[in-house]
């Protein structure tokens, strides 16, 4: 199993790990289950990883975490006899928490990972956990994943470090494709194509989405020029074609166009104006 995590979320986990101040209780909140679970596994792996740059996700302990096979990674599961993903307090205590003060097997840390903790843990379970979290054994890490941290008891929250993952906006492939066409028009100096692409946008919401997607590519391009890698071939193309000064000017004119959308502007004229601006900035010597 591998983790596919958005870059900014991965960076959030790595930054916490690198700080060397990893808390013993972490709540990971976010609207995407995939991102929450991925971030949780990444954090868990960092606690057992044997490489200097943690988590490497390829050493033996990391791989065991990703496969759910690490003996020091404990993932309490919902009770089979209860409905709706809840674990009973007695099962939580007897099957899982009874091992809390036993030393880890292989790693330096024992990890309890509670997926969808707000559904899994009723108030009685949270209160029982709270007593442990208040005075945790040294070598322990509790991870809770939730859609919203507020769904957990405030007493639990106040003892935990809360990581809020970035929101996943619905990936709008059409906007992304059009943003690439705009980039192409700019990079290849096809003014006619650029004008056609921009003129084909007739709805305010659509223009906003496309220009936001384009701005994201421009930002990636800017970062790429400063040495931050990107997987986006379009951003790389822009970065190679435009120097920093032009790139910043393109970002500024794009953002000011997005701002103009909020006013009562003629969209067709705005798109024509934007095309002229792009040409002026990028094609000047
Ligand atoms: Zn590792």
Per-residue pLDDT at 171:
56
Angle between helices 233-241 and 173-187 (to 10 degrees): 20
- What is the rounded distance in angstroms from the CA atom of residue 237 to the CA atom of residue 243? 12
Cβ neighbors of 132 (< 8 A, separation 6 or more) are 97, 100, 142
Query: In this structure, what CATH number is given to the domain that contains residue 146?
Result: 3.40.50.300
Do both 92 and 192 map to the same domain? no
Q: Is the pLDDT of residue 117 over 90?
A: yes
State the distance from the centre of ligand 1 to the C-alpha of 107, rounded, in angstroms. 12
Backbone angles phi, psi at 27, to 5 degrees: -105, 125
Separation of CA 160 and ligand 1 centre (Å): 25
Give me ligand 1 centre to Cα 69, in Å. 14
CA of 48 relative to ligand 1 center, distance in Å? 7
Q: Please tell me whether residues 210 and 241 are part of one structural domain.
A: yes
Write out the H or E segment, with its range, that includes residue 193.
helix 191-199
- Own/partner contacts of 172-178, CB < 8 Å, gap of 24 or more, are 172/209, 172/213, 175/206, 175/209, 175/210, 175/212, 175/213, 176/213, 178/210, 178/213
Protein residues with C-beta less than 5 angstroms from the ion ligand 1 = 49, 51, 56, 59, 62
Predicted confidence (pLDDT) at residue 106 exceeds the cutoff of 90: yes
What's 59's DSSP letter? Answer: S
How far is the centre of ligand 1, averaged over its atoms, from the C-alpha of 53 (Å)? 8
pLDDT above 90: percentage of residues in the chain:
72
Q: Give me ligand 1 centre to Cα 3, in Å.
A: 13
CA of 220 to the centre of ligand 1 (A): 28
pLDDT at 250 over 90: yes
Confidence band, pLDDT 50/70/90 cuts, at residue 1: low
CA 87 to ligand 1 center in whole angstroms: 31
- pTM for the full predicted model: 0.62
Q: Does 263 share its domain with 122?
A: no
Kindly give the distance from the C-alpha atom of residue 249 to the centroid of ligand 1, in angstroms, as a whole number: 42
Model pLDDT, residue 46 = 96
- The verdict on 160 and 180 lying in the same domain is no
Closest CA to 143 of 76, 88, 83: 76
DSSP assignments along 240-268, one per residue: HHS-HHHHHHHHHHHHHHHHHHTS---HH
Look at 55-69, 120-134, 222-236 and tell me which has the smallest mean pLDDT: 222-236
Instruction: Provide the number of structural domains found in the chain.
Output: 2
Average pLDDT, rounded, for the chain:
91
Pick the closest to residue 152 from 52, 27, 6 (CA basis): 27
pLDDT above 90: residue 168: no
Are 121 and 205 contained in the same domain? no
Residues 185 and 258 in one domain: yes
pLDDT at 252 over 60: yes
């Amino acid at each position: 199993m591998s983790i596919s995590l958005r870059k900014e979320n991965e960076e959030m986990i790595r930054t916490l790990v690198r700080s060397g101040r990893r808390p013993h209780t972490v709540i990971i909140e976010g609207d995407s289950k995939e991102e929450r679970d991925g971030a949780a596994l990444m954090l868990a792996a960092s606690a057992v990883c044997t490489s200097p740059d943690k988590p490497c996700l390829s050493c033996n302990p990391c791989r065991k975490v990703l496969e759910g096979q690490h003996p020091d990674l404990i993932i309490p599961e919902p009770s089979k006899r209860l409905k709706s993903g809840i674990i009973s307090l007695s099962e939580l205590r007897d099957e899982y928490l009874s091992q809390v003060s036993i030393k880890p097997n292989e790693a330096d840390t024992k990890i309890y990972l509670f997926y969808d903790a707000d559904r899994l843990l009723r108030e009685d379970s949270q209160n029982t956990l709270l007593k442990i979290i208040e005075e945790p054994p040294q070598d322990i890490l509790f991870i809770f994943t939730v859609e919203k941290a507020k769904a957990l008891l405030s007493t639990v929250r106040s003892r935990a470090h809360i990581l809020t993952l970035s929101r996943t906006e619905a990936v709008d492939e059409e906007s992304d494709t059009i943003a690439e066409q705009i980039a192409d028009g700019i990079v290849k100096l096809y003014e006619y194509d650029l004008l056609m692409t921009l003129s084909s946008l007739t709805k305010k919401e659509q223009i906003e989405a496309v220009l936001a997607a384009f701005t994201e590519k421009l930002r990636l391009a800017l970062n790429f020029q400063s040495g931050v890698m990107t997987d986006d071939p379009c951003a790389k193309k822009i970065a190679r074609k435009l120097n920093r000064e032009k790139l910043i000017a393109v970002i500024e004119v794009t953002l000011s166009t997005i701002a103009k959308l909020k006013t009562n502007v003629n969209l067709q004229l705005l798109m024509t104006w934007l095309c002229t601006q792009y040409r002026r900035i990028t094609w000047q010597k």
